[in-house]
Amino acid sequence: MNVASNNASVVRARGLRKAYKNKLALDGASFQIPAGRIVGLIGPNGAGKTTALKAILGLIPFEGELSVLGRDPRTQRDELMNDVCFIADVAVLPRWIKVREAIEFVAGVHPRFDRARCERFLAHTQLKPESRVRELSKGMIVQLHLALVMAIDARLLVLDEPTLGLDILYRKQFYQRLLEDYFDEDKTILITTHQVEEVEHILTDVMFIRDGKVVLEAAMDAVGERYVEVLVNADSLEAARALKPIDERGLPFGKTVMLFDGVPQARLASFGETRTPGLADLFVATMKGTYA
């Protein structure tokens, strides 16, 4: 039986703190990542996303409590890496490397790499073993990265801004293949990004990070129950404002949209049309002032 059964947490963090010179990259961040989930760690640039990942991967010293797959990444990193796969920005494969060499490299560094599975995946692409990365289109580079990832039987897959620099077609292809060909209830995927819309449809859970703190941590189902957006009728503005929306924005033709946290939808329906907010709208509302 797995150490991280489906009701266990793959990652438990409490009071994580990390300072670089005069800046706090993590400021008492606390969160849990359950097993068998696809979790988005979403925040603006400089919010602490990559620092949190580096702590989880045992790449930096930090203060606070952190357990990853039941291990402390500061003292048990070698053991931990047997069960973890980490992929950064897919556009960073060395341009001189051949497809065959990339496969050999990953096979040499990760004990859970299944070469036969990798080659089965590549058989359905135009990739040739002797092709160099510099000769490949962006779409082919995505396919190569996917083949390398899919062939690693890791319990935790960590993706840091994996589709940076790729156009929307290849971004969608990357996430769709991840969902269809890789993810199962024994695996957990943690994705950092600031491009909310591209991951919204695949996430089971979301965490918003701002100024080194996790400011929202919820299952996607719960987000739909907790937050309500209302297109408020002009004659209901004051009554709606009395319920303290967390955000308000104007639309053309004098329309006003308000976002409420924890107010029952039935109570808001008399003010105007209600809907579940998109993750992007929720993100913008939560991060207001961060980009000033």
151 and 252 part of one domain:
no
204 and 229 part of one domain:
no
Rounded to a whole number of angstroms, the CA Rg of the chain reads 21
Q: How many domains does the chain have?
A: 2
- Comparing C-alpha atoms, which of 276, 221, 193 is closest to residue 37? 221
Q: Which pLDDT score is estimated for 121?
A: 86
292 part of a folded domain:
no
Q: Which pLDDT score is estimated for 29?
A: 94
Q: Are 274 and 227 in contact (CB under 8 A)?
A: no
Last-in-domain residue among 158, 190, 211: 211
Q: Which pLDDT score is estimated for 2?
A: 36
Range of the domain at 272: 224-286
Arithmetic mean of pLDDT, 63-80: 94
* CA pair distance 277, 87, nearest whole angstrom: 30
Last-in-domain residue among 211, 241, 265: 211
Q: What angle do CA 123, 127, 132 make, to 5 degrees?
A: 145
200 and 234 part of one domain:
no
pTM, two decimal places: 0.85
Distances (CA, A) of 220 to 10, 55, 227, 261: 18, 25, 11, 14
* CA pair distance 240, 230, nearest whole angstrom: 9
DSSP class per residue in 56-102: HTT-S--EEEEEETTB-TTT-HHHHTTSEEEEE-GGGS-TT-BHHHH
DSSP SS3 for 94 = coil
Tokens of 287: 């991060």
Q: Which pLDDT score is estimated for 274?
A: 94
Q: Which pLDDT score is estimated for 257?
A: 94
Share of the chain above pLDDT 90, in %: 54
Q: Which pLDDT score is estimated for 291?
A: 45
Q: Are 65 and 15 in contact (CB under 8 A)?
A: yes
Highest mean pLDDT among 1-5, 91-95, 236-240, 282-286: 236-240
Last-in-domain residue among 176, 211, 246: 211
201 part of a folded domain:
yes
229 and 191 part of one domain:
no
Tens-place pLDDT, residues 105-140? 989 888 889 999 898 888 888 899 999 999 998 788
Q: Are 260 and 245 in contact (CB under 8 A)?
A: yes
Residue 92's pLDDT band (boundaries 50, 70, 90)? low
Q: Is the dihedral of CA 184, 185, 186, 187 positive or negative?
A: positive
* Distance of alpha carbon 48 from the chain centroid: 13
pLDDT higher at 89 or 113:
113
Q: Which pLDDT score is estimated for 128?
A: 92
Tens-place pLDDT, residues 220-279? 999 988 999 999 998 999 999 999 999 998 888 778 999 999 999 999 999 999 999 989
* Distance of alpha carbon 49 from the chain centroid: 9
- Comparing C-alpha atoms, which of 53, 36, 33 is closest to residue 160? 53
24 and 122 part of one domain:
yes
Tell me the HSE value of 169 on the side-chain side, using a 13 A CA sphere: 4
Q: Which pLDDT score is estimated for 91?
A: 54
Backbone angles phi, psi at 169, to 5 degrees: -60, -45
Tokens 């992929």, residue? 87
Tokens 């995505």, residue? 142
Tokens of 262: 């924890």
106 part of a folded domain:
yes
